């Protein structure tokens, strides 16, 4: 029987097993936050590793709310909506979107999820380009997903990612609505793919993939400014403060949250309500 796309999970295509029962929904909800009071909110925010300045801004905003009878979680979401940007449109600025991030941060998986879920929900014509063919040191490869999901894929080896070859690849897919581009890990980008895309291909939007438990090294962050961000690994990291500190400092809009390995299930558009829930949960 032909497998339906929404049945795909990495386990079924031999790239790992699904983390059953470890999703966000299993995290304990902030049901009793209002009973516990504002101190509990403060402790949870600092337990997340948010910096003092951000905690102070969030906390003051929540406590000085003009609607003190509104539950704390909703007030928190309102503050987060004020302090963070959210931009989930796809395509957004351009039809070409490249995913960058550190080794194993979840670039390829997020790209595959986004391609699959976008086609289900919009019917857009989508193509995939890999500038990291044979380049994934420990992760998933796009050529595993592309045929299963039925997307056309162009692959360039990391050492073939020169301006002419990238130009040809873009031209080849120029009639499609959306083209998602996988890239080599930034910490192993010895051929300078990041620099090339940033300086020579303004028609490509760069999206920045950050693992919740890690963030990005300073040296790597320097090549980004206000790009949109996907946070991955939210199912396995209880603390996301460090990543949020970086995102807030860089004014990067949040685009998507990745909450597991399954394609395409475990990807959600980022929004303030969800971020509030993530900040308040406790992972067991």
Ligand X SMILES: Nc1nc2c(ncn2[C@@H]2O[C@H](COP(=O)(O)OP(=O)(O)OP(=O)(O)O)[C@@H](O)[C@H]2O)c(=O)[nH]1
Is the Cβ of residue 31 or residue 137 nearer to ligand X in the bound state?
137
> Which C-beta is closer to Mg ion: that of 108 or that of 206?
108
Closer CB to Mg ion, residue 73 or residue 155?
155
Structure tokens at 226: 């206000």
CA angle 210/211/215 to nearest 5° reads 65
Site stretch for ligand X (CB under 6 A), options 48-56, 85-93, 145-153, 258-266: 258-266
Our CA angle for 229, 194, 157, nearest 5°, is 115
Report the nearest approach of Mg ion to the CB of residue 65 (Å).
Answer: 42
Q: Give the one entry of ligand X, Mg ion, none that residue 233 binds, where binding means its C-beta sits below a cut-off of 5 to 8 angstroms depending on kind.
A: ligand X
Shortest Å, Cβ 234 to ligand X: 6
Residue in the block written with tokens 């339906």: 4
Q: Which of 29, 31, 137, 249 lies at the binding interface for ligand X (CB under 6 A)?
A: 137
Residue 108 near Mg ion by CB under 5 A: yes
Could you tell me the strand order of the sheet in which 204-211 lies?
153-157, 126-133, 178-182, 96-101, 204-211, 228-232, 254-258, 267-269
CA distance 132 to 142: 9
x-or-dash pattern for ligand X, window 228-247, by CB under 6 A? ----xx-xx-----------
Q: How far apart are CA 2 and CA 275, in angstroms?
A: 36
105 binds Mg ion (CB under 5 A): no
Binding letters toward ligand X, positions 180-219, x by CB under 6 A: -----x----------------------------------
- Residue number with CB closer to ligand X (81 or 148): 148
Continuous segment of H or E residues that includes residue 207: strand 204-211
Q: Report, in Å, the least distance between residue 133 CB and ligand X.
A: 11
CB atoms within 10 A of CB 217: 11
Residues 30-89 that bind ligand X (CB under 6 A): none
In angstroms, give the least distance from the CB of 22 to ligand X.
Answer: 7
Q: Is 109 in the site for ligand X (CB under 6 A)?
A: yes
CB atoms inside a 10 Å sphere around CB 90: 22
- CB-nearer residue toward ligand X: 75 or 281: 281
How many angstroms separate the CA atoms of 151 and 139, rounded?
20
Q: At closest approach, how far in Å is the CB of 186 from ligand X?
A: 8
Question: Considering only residues 127-166, where is the footprint of Mg ion by CB under 5 A?
Answer: 136, 139
Q: What's the sign of the alpha-carbon dihedral 121, 126, 132, 133? A: positive
Q: How many of the other CB atoms lie within 10 Å of CB of 235?
A: 20
Question: What are residue 267's DSSP bridge partners?
Answer: 258
Say how far apart CA 35 and CA 176 lie, in whole Å. Answer: 52
The nearer residue to Mg ion, 110 or 272, going by C-beta atoms, is 110
- Which C-beta is closer to ligand X: that of 140 or that of 247? 140
Q: Which residues bind Mg ion (CB under 5 A)?
A: 107-108, 136, 139
């Amino acid at each position: 029987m032909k497998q339906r796309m929404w049945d795909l999970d990495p386990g079924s295509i031999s790239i790992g097993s699904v983390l059953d029962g470890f999703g966000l929904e299993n995290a304990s909800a902030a049901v009793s936050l209002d009973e516990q009071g504002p101190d509990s909110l403060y402790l949870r925010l600092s337990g997340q590793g948010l910096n003092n300045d951000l905690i102070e801004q969030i906390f003051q905003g929540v406590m000085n709310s003009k609607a003190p009878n509104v539950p704390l979680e909703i007030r928190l979401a309102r503050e987060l909506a004020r302090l963070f940007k959210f931009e989930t449109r796809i395509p957004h600025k351009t039809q070409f979107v490249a995913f960058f991030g550190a080794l194993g941060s979840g670039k390829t998986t997020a790209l595959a999820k986004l391609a699959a879920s976008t086609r289900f929900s919009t019917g857009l014509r989508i193509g995939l380009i890999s500038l990291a063919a044979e380049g994934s040191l420990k992760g998933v490869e796009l050529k595993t997903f592309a045929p299963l999901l039925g997307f056309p894929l162009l692959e360039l080896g990391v050492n073939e990612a020169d301006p002419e070859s990238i130009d040809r690849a873009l031209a080849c897919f120029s009639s499609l609505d959306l083209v998602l581009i996988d890239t080599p890990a930034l910490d192993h980008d010895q051929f300078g793919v990041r620099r090339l895309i940033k300086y020579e291909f303004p028609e490509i939007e760069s999206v920045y993939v950050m693992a919740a438990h890690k963030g990005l090294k300073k040296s790597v962050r320097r090549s980004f400014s206000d790009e949109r961000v996907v946070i991955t690994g939210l199912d396995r990291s209880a603390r996301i403060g460090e990543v949020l500190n970086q995102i807030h400092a860089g004014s990067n809009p949040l685009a998507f949250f990745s909450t597991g390995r399954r394609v395409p299930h475990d990807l959600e558009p980022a929004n303030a309500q969800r971020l509030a829930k993530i900040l308040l949960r406790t992972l067991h």
